[in-house]
């Protein structure tokens, strides 16, 4: 029987039936495309930060064990979705074939793209893991993947390496959402500011707050603090453990003249950072959770428990124009581009 095509890819769901591919426990990763799919020869997977941190911890940093776990997950689920964090990542690859219903989308065999939808919903079949780049959460593979009709992507630009573009596009939703949220004069607290998404959010927040605003970054070590301050990516930087919310709040408020913040942005990759994001924010302020390590239950019940009336936003990895916005930041800022090239290429 011919498959009933659905632009969201529901026909590939194997269990449980009736859900979308991201929610599914198992999807069909047969690499024979329908008329509304795109087949990709995968070059690299960029595992999301929370997922990769969990995989490293579980494997005690052993690359072989990490590779084996990734292969196990994909074999069981038909996609790369960490069963602990529920998150995935994204990929870069070359177009192998385009379904006939999508031939007017401007893609052709051989085009290099980065997918901007999560690996947690992307049908994937890995033949071989060629290398694991531990410091940048990247897995080089011989593999194929499928992009659904609604799957968003970006063609890789000509003015930067694919590695640099991948590093930025992996977290493109964060700075784009920051651009929407931050206004002139705002005080902004950014947790996990030393990572990819954190640095991009810092830069975008600094652009938006203007001369009367204040951007405070929270990092884990002296090196990250110095990097942000030396490159004017924040007005102030604190070093604190985000799992110790009272200590974190006291340090953050001190860096904001004792005042509560208008906005906090959570970009950390470890659990239990919810209250460190909520406590320093004023009633009526905004808490933006970009991190995939965040628990909705802990955030919602935690805010209720301390009587905080804040607007909490779940980090949507997609925001209209987010790829162009994020790549534009690397083109605009020589300092930001240099840091990304040093760390992630």
**Residue 267 near residue 173, CB atoms below 8 Å:** no
As a whole number of angstroms, the distance between CA 35 and CA 103 comes to: 9
Query: Partners of 26 in the beta sheet?
Result: 15
The pLDDT value recorded for residue 1 is 32
Q: pTM of the entire structure? A: 0.85
Residue 170: C-alpha distances to residues 138, 164, 206, 216, 217 (Å): 11, 10, 21, 23, 21
Q: In 3D, which of 300, 250, 308, 255 has the Cα closest to residue 281?
A: 308
272-296 as b/e: b if 16+ CB within 10 A: bbbbbbbbbbeeebbbbbbbbbbee
- For the chain, the structural domain boundaries read 10-156, 173-344
As a whole number of angstroms, the distance between CA 73 and CA 226 comes to: 38
Decide the pairing of beta strands 112-115 and 89-98: antiparallel
Q: In 3D, which of 144, 192, 168, 170 has the Cα closest to residue 46?
A: 170
Q: What is the 3-state secondary structure (H, E, C) of 33-80?
A: CCCCCEEEEEEEEEECHHHHHHHHHHCCCCHHHHHHHHHHHHHHHCCC
Rg (C-alpha) for the chain, rounded Å, is 20
Please enumerate in sequence order all residues whose Cβ is within 8 A of that of 19, keeping only pairs 6 or more positions apart, or say none: 10, 13
As a whole number of angstroms, the distance between CA 7 and CA 151 comes to: 9
- CA 41 vs. chain centroid, Å, equals 22
Give residue for tokens 């905080």.
308
Q: In 3D, which of 81, 80, 112 has the Cα closest to residue 96?
A: 112
As a whole number of angstroms, the distance between CA 296 and CA 178 comes to: 20
Question: Is 65 exposed, middle or buried, given 0-12, 13-18 or 19+ CB atoms closer than 10 A?
Answer: middle
**Residue 203 near residue 330, CB atoms below 8 Å:** no
Domain spanning 173-344, CATH class: alpha beta
Please enumerate in sequence order all residues whose Cβ is within 8 A of that of 339, keeping only pairs 6 or more positions apart, or say none: 199, 227, 231
Average pLDDT for consecutive 10-residue bins of the chain (345 residues)?
74 95 97 95 94 95 96 98 94 95 88 94 98 94 96 92 89 94 98 96 97 97 96 97 97 98 95 97 97 91 97 86 93 95 88
Region at 56 (left for phi over 0; alpha for psi -120 to 50; beta for the rest): alpha
């Amino acid at each position: 029987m011919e498959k009933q095509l659905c632009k969201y890819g529901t026909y590939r769901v194997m269990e449980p039936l009736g859900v979308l591919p991201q929610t599914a426990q198992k999807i069909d990763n047969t690499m024979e495309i329908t008329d509304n799919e795109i087949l990709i020869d995968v070059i690299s997977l960029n595992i999301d930060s929370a997922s990769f941190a969990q995989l490293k911890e579980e494997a005690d940093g052993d690359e072989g064990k990490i590779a084996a776990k990734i292969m196990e997950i994909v074999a069981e689920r038909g996609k790369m979705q960490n069963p602990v964090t529920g998150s995935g990542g994204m990929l870069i690859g070359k177009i192998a074939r385009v379904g006939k219903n999508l031939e007017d989308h401007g893609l052709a065999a051989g085009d290099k793209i980065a997918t901007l939808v999560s690996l947690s919903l992307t049908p994937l079949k890995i033949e071989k893991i060629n290398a694991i780049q531990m410091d940048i959460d990247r897995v080089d593979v011989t593999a194929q993947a499928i992009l659904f009709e609604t799957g968003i992507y970006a063609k890789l630009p000509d003015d930067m390496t694919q590695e640099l573009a991948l590093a930025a596009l992996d977290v493109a939703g964060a700075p784009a959402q920051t651009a929407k949220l931050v206004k002139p004069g705002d005080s902004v607290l950014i947790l996990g500011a030393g990572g990819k998404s954190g640095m991009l959010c810092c830069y975008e927040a600094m652009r938006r707050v203007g001369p009367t605003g204040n951007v405070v970054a929270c990092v884990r070590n002296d090196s990250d603090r110095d990097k942000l301050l030396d490159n004017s990516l924040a007005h102030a930087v604190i070093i604190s453990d985000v799992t110790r919310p009272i200590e974190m709040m006291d340090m953050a408020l001190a860096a904001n003249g004792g005042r509560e913040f208008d906005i906090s942005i959570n970009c950390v990759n470890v659990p239990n950072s919810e209250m460190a994001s909520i406590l320093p924010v004023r009633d009526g302020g905004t808490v933006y959770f970009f991190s995939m390590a965040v628990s909705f239950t802990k955030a919602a019940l935690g805010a209720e428990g301390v009587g905080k009336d804040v607007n909490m936003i779940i980090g949507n990895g997609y925001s209209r124009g987010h790829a162009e916005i994020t790549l534009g930041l690397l083109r605009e800022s020589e300092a930001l581009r240099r840091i990304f090239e040093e760390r992630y290429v």
